Structure 1
């Protein structure tokens, strides 16, 4: 027992500052307390990051098509072809990648169908295989709450809070004492013994992954804790959502806005009932005037609940190539009724719009997913290398 206590509460080293000593002790304690949870969260995050890629691979014969010199079918042509078969087009997702198929949704015999569609041949390729969905739902449940509901969610939250302290204290402990040790702090000595390699991997890889791991942790806490969500929104220029009166006021305001929008749509449906519908080409031309760029485009057609066309695009025309969502609605005559453009939102709303892809790494597409996977794998390895380092000290302690 004395050996265990000695490794948990070491003596303060000569010339070691009190601050660095406290950081070292906290780093050890929090690492031992949260290590297993961090391993599970990071490993499940590594797996879930590639959900879309695994799904595409499972459906590769439907997702990917052979690009030919034949012009692609226009949305209007697709709609006409489906109507000939008694199918009412309700939605269409158009990829800007010439080697990817479209996704069409339609109603036939009161059933909703979503299927892949070859834009060159005009053939339906069939519905997607969803066998992996259940697996990834379990992975996501493990990542969010360890499959333990609200209790697991709170355990995860506490562990991630500890992980934030671990990252900050680890950065303090990483800082070399003298200039001559700086090169060593950035490299791994693979020619050394196992314990030295293990220490260098923990020390150096932790430093390189620090910023992204800390960002992942904070965006994860944003979902778990209202105080974190409130703090981030306020720091980005938004209004505080803490306090019962404010929350009620916001809820009432949001309800009023939704109710007003519903009334407007119902009035619009009645007013335009006798008006002829604009062609799909006109709808898309008017949409392109507001969103004048090529991108992955989703079209939702009017239905009994919503009398408007909804056009969504993923805008990547920025220096990072980040995927930023824009959306507009148009009435049946082609008049633009509402715009929800990313760059017109205040900073705190931009952040709340992107918090999920920022957390998962989807924000820049495959390249950022791969980067997040590497960083998340480093996060998975840190508790392992840290425990090995501590256990070796525990084994040698007298």
Structure 2
């Protein structure tokens, strides 16, 4: 019997093999749910009820629509989103109890004042299940979150070791060429190997990015450490510190006047969301998305007191690069950062990631069968 010499490549291959076999089912479920969630918003929109806006000559004011909502016993208005397309409805956020976390959303035709409460569809329920599967494996959060976190670390190791193993032993173009193509004319064993090797290589960069960013949800210490390394907090939802005592004491302006002032300051086309003043924050908070920006998920923020004085303007493009990246961790993880283009790339990469545990297991099983056949054919081996 010949003893195989130990090598770094064999060690990396063993790590890649056994970690992959041990975590295959979990990685399959996490990647499968992630593949579906790549187009979460598009799926929701497809199954959501459409509200037709009858474009007329004059719109109701936001102030008037808010009063109509409150008079119809829908609750009190806490915010509104104004689309940049005339044929789309306004979306009001209303609460019947101030203690409600999010409240409910009501679509309103600004021309006719027709109201339609947004209700959860079957797609919403399904996607929430996929979200819970992706984040916690449908388990309790304290149990599922660390399991997914450890599986993500393993997937990161698998992705990096896979890149190393993709490189041939001999650095010749003929050897490299095999790693870029799938030999479709070969038998299914060779095809499964090529799918694992080639498609895994093409998707590895995206999978590594998903792993590095995904760990921010699994481990608080990792998220804080990454934020410290970047020099900017991750998932920072805090706004600027505004001294409420220093707010203008001039006469209060209407919601529509506040919106007009905000659009004047943020002078470009795009969707505008408004959070109305409340007991905790007695000022308007605006968030606007620029249609001409490089990313559809970046927004500028503006804060205004009830008298119309602009308190603070937070323009995304003016932020330092590290702050920009830290604030975009979520869309970088989901693929939303560059819109449909990056979503499609992430969908394909995650779909390949879903196949890797399957093809990897098939490769191992085929090699195991071949090894058994060799032993049966030559008892001295």
- Shorter-chain TM-score bucket reads 0.7 to 0.9
CA deviations on 1:152-200 (whole Å, 9 max, x unpaired) are 2222222211111111111111123321133322111111110111111
1:94 matched to 2:82? The reply is yes
Which secondary structure state, in structure 2, belongs to the residue aligned with residue 93 of structure 1?
strand
Higher helix share: 1
Equivalence for 1:39 = 28
**What's the TM-score, normalizing by structure 2?**
0.83
Q: How far is the alpha carbon of 1:99 from its aligned partner?
A: 4.3
Structure 1 residues 367 and 333, CA, compared in 2 at 3 Å: closer, same or farther? same
Offset, 1:109: 11
Deviation digits for residues 44-81 of structure 1, max 9, x if unmatched?
Answer: 1122333322322222323xx35757565553564466
Q: Report SS of the residue matched to 1:56.
A: helix
* In the alignment, structure 1 residue 22 sits paired with structure 2 residue 11: yes
The equivalences for 1:345-364 within 5 A come to 345-364=319-338
- Structure 1 pair 283–53 and aligned structure 2 pair: CA distance change class (3 A): same
Q: Provide the rounded CA distance (Å) in 1 between the counterparts of 2:246 and 2:122.
A: 42
Describe the shift of the 1:40–1:289 C-alpha distance in structure 2 as closer, same or farther (beyond 3 A): same
Residue aligning to 1:75: 62
Taking structure 1 as the reference length, what is the TM-score of the superposition? Answer: 0.79
1:195 maps to 189
Q: 1:12 to 1:167 in 2, by over 3 A?
A: farther
1:256-275 correspondence to structure 2 within 5 Å: 261=242, 264-265=243-244, 267=245, 272=249, 275=250
Aligned mates of 1:114, 1:239 — CA distance in 2: 30
Q: How far apart, in 1, do the equivalents of 2:12 and 2:178 lie? A: 21
Partners of 1:293 and 1:188 in 2: CA distance: 48
**Structure 2 partner of 1:218:** 212
Q: 1:91 to 1:227 in 2, by over 3 A?
A: closer
Cα separation, partners in 2 of 1:20 and 1:73, compared to 1, 3 Å: farther
Structure 2 residues without counterparts, runs of 5 or longer: 373-381
| 1:373 aligned partner | 347
Aligned CA RMSD, in angstroms, stands at 3.2
> What does residue 258 of structure 2 align with?
283
Q: State the alpha-carbon separation in 2 of the partners of residues 322 and 51 from structure 1.
A: 16
Q: For the residues of structure 2 that align with 1:330 and 1:202, how far apart are their CA atoms?
A: 54
**How many aligned residue pairs are there?**
361
Partner of 2:113: 122
Contact 1:67/1:98, CA 8 A, preserved across alignment? no
Q: State yes or no: 1:307 paired with 2:282.
A: yes
Q: Does 1:323 align with 2:294?
A: no
